[in-house]
Structure 1
Amino acid sequence: MPVALTADQTALAEAVSGFADRHSTREYTRANTDRLAAGELPSCWADLVALGLPGVHLPEEVGGQGGTLDEIAVVLAEAGRALLPGPLLPSVLTSTIVASSKSGAPVEDALRRFAAGGTGATIAPDHGVRAADTGLTGATGPVLGAASAEVFLVAAGTRWFLVERATEGVRVEARAGSDLGRDLGVVRLQDVAATELDGIDAEYAEAVATAFMAAEAAGVIRWCSDTATEYVKARKQFGRPVGAFQAVQHRTAQLLITSELATSAAWDAVRGLADDAAQRTHAVAGAAIITLGRAVHAAVECLGLHGAIGFTWEHDLHLYWRRAISLAGLGGSAEYWERRLGEVALDGPRNFAVPLPETDSTFRDWVSEILDRAAALDNPNPSKIGDHDSANTGPRRTLLADAGLVSPPMPKPWGIEAGPLEQLILQDEYDRHGIAQPGMGIGQWVVPIVLQRGTPEQLARLAAPALRGEEIWCQLMSEPEAGSDVASLSLRATRDGGGWRLNGQKIWTTLAHRSDWGLLLARTDSEAERHRGLTMFLVDMHGEGVTVRPITQSSGNAEFNEVFFDDAYVPDDMVLGEVGQGWALTLETLAQERLFIGGVRDPGHNARLVGIVEREEYAGSRENALRALGRISARGAAISAMNLRETIRRLDGHGIGPATSISKAAASMLHTDAAAAALELIGPAAALNEQDSEVVQHELDIPTWVIGGGTLEIQLNTIATFVMGLPRK
């Protein structure tokens, strides 16, 4: 998915992409590396300016396009994907920082110049330029765009100045850079006269530069992912596309995950420029870690998937690799950003509030009135799946179930056929009223298919108790010899009068020992092909012939079970759907999660690490502890940003995208790494029994998270074949 979200942003991205194609930007870079390094503007610069691209974000009164920073981020991301040569990035970030000043006429004059195609570069405070009565003095390290710049924005301590390139005492030495499409230079200043600008905040300036570099890096990473995917589809070895080999599929899927997280983090960084200082740091530091910090890795992964061909001068890959190296170097060290993010994460997570485009308050008012009544009631009866208000039963839960607010996307009267916006308003109102949104555990994904496909008689018997939390459901899919390959299951259902006899075993069934009903897939036709001859049954878990044996996990908990069926009888009226159509219903069941949409919540990994830092339970240094917190926080925020983008797309009327599958895989990896980070931090305390160490307890419970929803390998298979279109054979 590109940085662009809206239709206008997509059109803008297409304009940049079309511009790059017309001007053969990569070919131009190859042929003109020396000229570009010397600061000569590319031949397409005038056309770029004519399109208004350098001024997309600048006000119309100074000749700009009157757009937002989100829109210039789209331009930069597409510039990175197309590898546009020249000083677009340094000029755009310089004009954006200048625009934050309140110095009136000098600022307006500078912005007019930038909108008209003027070039600029920013010299940040860490270059050590000094301001004195005689002017600015100092020598910089490498500055992006310095050789092509007509004007410099220079920081001297806490003060900021505009410096004309032609001013006496300014000397620029072009330096050959790793990026062959842009110039780099060292600037020497000696008693240089300059125009001081007021109101520029150094941290904001750093944030702008980092966010904009991340946007361009996201485009570079996207090119790496797209190019690798197309290559493994076309390249053949041993008579078939290399993309059909599972190892290649997994590696390519991992690269797509890297790209999606990088895009989401960069988008959030630009979005975060308008936030307060702490939230801005959250967003920008996350992008520095997830996007700038992964750009070189993405290029190397792209090379690995190409093999030797990607290591040649003729292939475009090295041009992107070089740009990734340059951006990562200029963006600052990972250690610096991890520590910065760790410090702000101690005070709370990144805010991912969902913007709700409400035009009519009727629905919200209706929900609020119901929740007002619900708030006066309680749920005094503990649930079998946990004593917490979201699961407990009582008058409050009954009221909410009868109103259709337990499974809101479902058809009436069980739900309210809520779309994405209505679901988010519901969540917002639940939060505002201080009421836990009711859940059904595993039933959250099982019960909706019963509501959609059940007969009137089945619904009359099963729907209300499930929604009220009075009866608990489980899902009986996996078998000892089938695992994730559901289509190969062997539990048999044979005809017996007006019903069916079940014989076989299910395993890894979550909460089966506490469930009243189960949704079970069984083979009713042994002669049919794998995906045919399967039927879905509604099974009474307390019925004769059903034996549930809890499986004690390494953590000591027993949430999973093996379930044995010994001539267990299921009447015909408890078949869900048609006999032989169980596979189609299975796919519908697995897709139920995608009907639900919710606000982007904190993944929860930060809290454990924050506690370790605040209680000073880390075995090493506080610096290392903060860095670990920063690393994990960045990844959790990138996943949340991806989910927020998907939510915004859904609110804008788009169909369901691939973000759910990608987010699941990314979350699985994060669960494992976050638990490992906590273990590493506590050092010798990890030797304690899990009863004395919550961190150890959590580590031993990791399989619940990374296997229960399908192993990472299965998730990567799904992404590779269903999202990326890689061949299955």
Structure 2
Amino acid sequence: MALPMTEDERALADSVAAFARRSAPIAQTRIQFDALSAGTGPDPVWDAVVRQGLHNMHLPEAVGGSECGLPALAVVVEQLGMAMFPGPYLPTVLASAVAATASNGADGLLVAFDGGATGALVAGNRLTARPAAGGWEVKGTSDPSLGLPGAERVLVRAALADTPGGDLWFWLDRAEFDGPGTTAKVTPCEALDPTRSVGRLELAGHPIPHDRALAGVDPARVDLIVTSLLGAEASGIAAWCVETAVDYVRTRHQFGRPVGSFQAVQHKAALMLVRSEIACAAVWDAARAADDASDQQRLVAAQAALTAAPAGVDQALDCISMLGGIGFTWEHDAHLYWRRAVAVASAVGTEDAWSTRLGEAALHTQRDFSFIDEDTLPQLRARVAAVLDDVLALPDDEIATEGWAPTRGGARRARLAAEGLAAPHYPLPYGQDAGAVEQAVIADEFTRRGLDQPNTGIAEWVLPTLITHGTVEQRDRFVSATLRGELIWCQLFSEPGAGSDLAGLSTKARRVDGGWVLTGQKVWNSQAREADWGVCLARTDADAPKHKGLTYFLIEMASPGVDVRPLQQATGVWEFNEVFLDEVFVPDDCVVAGPGDGWRLAVTTLSNERLKMGTAKFGHGAAATVRQLLDGGEYGATRDEVVRVLGRNTARELSVGAMNLKTVLHRLHGTEDATGSATSVQKVFHAIAQREGSDALIRLLGPLGLVGSPEQPYVQDYLGVPAVLIGGGTIEIQLNVIAQRVLGLPR
């Protein structure tokens, strides 16, 4: 998953990648390290950038730019980051993009940038401005800043000494740094990344006239631009590292076999892909927020800083370790990406500071992942609204069940099912055959009325299989009744001896007159106690290969020989069950498709999920749980520590939400990845994020962690984490899938 969403953005990315390869091959960059890191000498690469029009594509049309927007600029930066593009490009577009947000005073500066002037952004908190005759005087020494030595225009932020929280934004011309007695000086630093200059700005009471000041620069928008573009470069670095490491281990041999065939290597490569795609989603969400309200921009700016920037560093180090000794040599390019990744993360700022900022923002704001507005599909909206208004007038008489099972029946549920709104993504006559936009409009109308969309539990996976592969009689018998809440389902797939190896199951089915008799044991079956029916895989042909001898049965859970026994977990509660099948008769009309089709149908069942619209509901380590702890005030840590955990846990949820929405939009644009990598990545990261979030939560408790009753939500949150690490296939199995099916590593 890369930043481009549309075909135009993909064409732009391809064009920029080709330009980078042609104009700045890394072998050529290596020869110019000294000049690049000092910011000196003629720069033919920058001249090529200007001729290509990449320097001003984001600037307003009024000053000669193309006004393409932050998302397109981020696409360019990501591609140039992937190519280790040298010189002042990123520092310049950072400065010019921030300058373009000013409401007044930036025209002359933007004209210079449009004409090809190089730039740098100095936006730390070490410079102080005081009013003076004709303007201001500024003093102080800045933090090290990218691209400062050699920059022709420098955009600077200084704190107003007598105005708490106030800023002065102004710009400097390189000519001001020259000559005797100047009060402005640029001191070069030895750059970690040898492909760019780094320096400090020293101002000793330097005069800033009124016409050099910029007005209306919004701090939230500045943060958004900076973290989006630096994050985009980190995303490009992360993508290069995955590609480089995977290419190497695919062909490198050790112990007589490809290194990439070893499971430990495969898992590391798969986790690198997960990290890369999560970073990319975070940057994409930040860049698309350029026109959002400030509170939304604060959320996603911090998200990009916390997710994308550190990912580049971790990714580059993992790449070097995958390459082995060759990756740790000066001759290999991996260390250049590592150096740049560290430089980018350093320029973004500290993770503690950003987690605090995101935590404070998340106390009051949630990310808006909607991609529709109130005028989208007005006829559908009006039709759904009328039905839901009628539903609200009906009695709320659904019957609650225990555990995770959905509620039963009720007048509201029956009306929703009749109108195709219980599962609108299903085809007619069961649903509305709703695509992504239609589903979003329907969900919005539910939300407006405070109504929850119906949940059918395990049937979310079962019913699509019956609709696709079942007989007319099976569909008529089960689908509508389930949507009305009259039937609850469970899934009888897992077995004690098979675990994640679903095809290794041993439950047997033998042919008898009129049907089949099943014998075996299933385990980890949620909702089995409440279920009326279960879908069961059993082996009907012992001589066939293990994937081909399976059949998909529908079992009535009240049948003789079905014994459901609750399993008490480490949490102390019973959420799963084991199910014993002792000579259970299943008639022929409860076989779906035909004997031997079980594996194909099971894959269909496990892959069916209702389209996610960006929201990410974590069962463990959720930001909402951290907010609850903060509100209760019983934590053993300091408030600042809790807020930082809230920030980090929010970042994880925002990452999943961004990936969900990006997947939906790819589907709308017809640019969905054929490998299905997004689904596998989301499953892995969803589990890892909950583990890390819940672990961070429990470390805040102090003495409160001594209380282990089921009513204590925080310890219970942590004790329940194994359910997400194991359920639906362990993380390790998912990593195998990513490594072998997505990355193409050898088995």
TM-score when normalising by structure 2: 0.93
In 2: Cα distance, 1:89 partner to 1:375 partner: 54
Q: 2:500 aligns with which of 480, 484, 490?
A: 484
Q: 1:344 aligns with which of 346, 361, 365?
A: 361
Q: Deviations over 1:214-236 (max 9, x none)?
A: 11111111111221122222222
Partner of 1:9: 9
Partner of 2:88: 87
2:707 matches 1:688: yes
Q: 1:551 aligns with which of 551, 555, 567?
A: 567
Q: Which amino acid aligns with 1:254?
A: L
Is the deviation greater in 642-651 or in 182-191?
A: 182-191
What displacement does 1:382 show?
0.9
Q: How many residues align?
A: 724
Is the deviation greater in 297-306 or in 287-296?
A: 287-296
Q: 1:246 aligns with which of 232, 251, 263?
A: 263
Partner of 2:191: 177
Partner of 1:500: 516
User: Aligned in 2, Cα 1:384/1:154: closer, same or farther, shift over 3 Å?
Assistant: closer
Partner of 1:678: 697
Q: Secondary structure at the match of 1:252?
A: helix
Q: Deviations over 1:588-638 (max 9, x none)?
A: 111212x63434245471111112122222212212111111111111111
In 2: Cα distance, 1:413 partner to 1:489 partner: 35
Q: Secondary structure at the match of 2:516?
A: strand
Partner of 1:139: 141
2:158 matches 1:159: no
What displacement does 1:78 show?
1.1
User: Aligned in 2, Cα 1:312/1:439: closer, same or farther, shift over 3 Å?
Assistant: same
Partner of 2:164: none
Partner of 2:25: 25
What displacement does 1:130 show?
3.6
Q: Deviations over 1:135-158 (max 9, x none)?
A: 443333312111120011122222
Q: Which amino acid aligns with 2:625?
A: R
Contact in 2 for aligned 1:349/1:606 (Cα 8 Å): no
In 2: Cα distance, 1:359 partner to 1:340 partner: 34
Q: Deviations over 1:324-354 (max 9, x none)?
A: 1111112111111111111112223333223
In 2: Cα distance, 1:18 partner to 1:381 partner: 60
Partner of 1:258: 275
Contact in 2 for aligned 1:379/1:397 (Cα 8 Å): no
In 2: Cα distance, 1:582 partner to 1:257 partner: 30
What displacement does 1:17 show?
0.3
Q: How does 1:179-578 map to 2 (within 5 A)?
A: 179-194=193-208, 195-355=212-372, 360-385=377-402, 391-578=407-594
Q: Which amino acid aligns with 2:645?
A: A
Q: Which amino acid aligns with 1:15?
A: S
In 2: Cα distance, 1:387 partner to 1:131 partner: 62
Q: Which amino acid aligns with 2:16?
A: V
In 2: Cα distance, 1:387 partner to 1:317 partner: 48
Contact in 2 for aligned 1:125/1:202 (Cα 8 Å): no
Contact in 2 for aligned 1:354/1:600 (Cα 8 Å): no
Is the deviation greater in 445-454 or in 188-197?
A: 188-197
Q: Which amino acid aligns with 2:573?
A: N
Partner of 2:738: 719
User: Aligned in 2, Cα 1:379/1:704: closer, same or farther, shift over 3 Å?
Assistant: farther
Partner of 2:611: 596
Q: Secondary structure at the match of 1:706?
A: helix
2:649 matches 1:632: yes
Q: Secondary structure at the match of 2:150?
A: coil
Q: Which amino acid aligns with 2:144?
A: P
Contact in 1 for aligned 2:614/2:659 (Cα 8 Å): no
Partner of 2:120: 121
In 1: Cα distance, 2:489 partner to 2:357 partner: 45
In 1: Cα distance, 2:115 partner to 2:408 partner: 64
Is the deviation greater in 349-358 or in 448-457?
A: 349-358
Q: Which amino acid aligns with 2:542?
A: S
Q: Which amino acid aligns with 2:485?
A: G
User: Aligned in 2, Cα 1:704/1:602: closer, same or farther, shift over 3 Å?
Assistant: closer
Of all paired residues, the percent bearing the same amino acid is 41
Q: Which amino acid aligns with 1:409?
A: H
User: Aligned in 2, Cα 1:47/1:624: closer, same or farther, shift over 3 Å?
Assistant: same
Q: Secondary structure at the match of 1:681?
A: coil
Q: Which amino acid aligns with 2:593?
A: G
Is the deviation greater in 30-39 or in 624-633?
A: 624-633
What displacement does 1:431 show?
1.1
Q: Which amino acid aligns with 1:160?
A: W
Partner of 2:36: 36
In 2: Cα distance, 1:122 partner to 1:584 partner: 57
In 2: Cα distance, 1:589 partner to 1:394 partner: 27
User: Aligned in 2, Cα 1:387/1:44: closer, same or farther, shift over 3 Å?
Assistant: closer
Q: Which amino acid aligns with 1:124?
A: A
In 1: Cα distance, 2:11 partner to 2:197 partner: 29
Q: Secondary structure at the match of 1:65?
A: coil
Is the deviation greater in 248-257 or in 645-654?
A: 645-654
Contact in 2 for aligned 1:423/1:597 (Cα 8 Å): no
What displacement does 1:385 show?
4.9
Q: Deviations over 1:18-44 (max 9, x none)?
A: 101112431222110001012135322
Partner of 1:73: 74
What displacement does 1:444 show?
0.9
CA-based RMSD: 2.0
Q: Deviations over 1:556-591 (max 9, x none)?
A: 221211111111111111110011111111111112
2:131 matches 1:112: no
Q: Which amino acid aligns with 1:444?
A: E
What displacement does 1:77 show?
1.1
Q: Secondary structure at the match of 1:559?
A: strand
Contact in 1 for aligned 2:283/2:304 (Cα 8 Å): yes
- Unpaired runs of at least 5, structure 2: 160-166
Q: Secondary structure at the match of 1:580?
A: coil
In 1: Cα distance, 2:398 partner to 2:287 partner: 47
Contact in 1 for aligned 2:129/2:168 (Cα 8 Å): no
What displacement does 1:491 show?
0.7
Q: Secondary structure at the match of 2:426?
A: coil
Q: Which amino acid aligns with 1:163?
A: L
Q: Which amino acid aligns with 1:709?
A: G
In 2: Cα distance, 1:709 partner to 1:350 partner: 28
User: Aligned in 2, Cα 1:387/1:218: closer, same or farther, shift over 3 Å?
Assistant: closer
In 2: Cα distance, 1:691 partner to 1:601 partner: 24
In 2: Cα distance, 1:559 partner to 1:386 partner: 6
In 1: Cα distance, 2:512 partner to 2:216 partner: 83
Q: Deviations over 1:345-394 (max 9, x none)?
A: 22233332233697642322222222222222134131435699x73421
What displacement does 1:193 show?
4.2
In 2: Cα distance, 1:145 partner to 1:406 partner: 57
Q: Which amino acid aligns with 1:174?
A: P
Q: Deviations over 1:94-144 (max 9, x none)?
A: 1112112222xx522211221222111122241324445374433333121
TM-score when normalising by structure 1: 0.95
Q: Secondary structure at the match of 2:700?
A: helix
Q: Secondary structure at the match of 2:10?
A: helix
Is the deviation greater in 550-559 or in 265-274?
A: 265-274
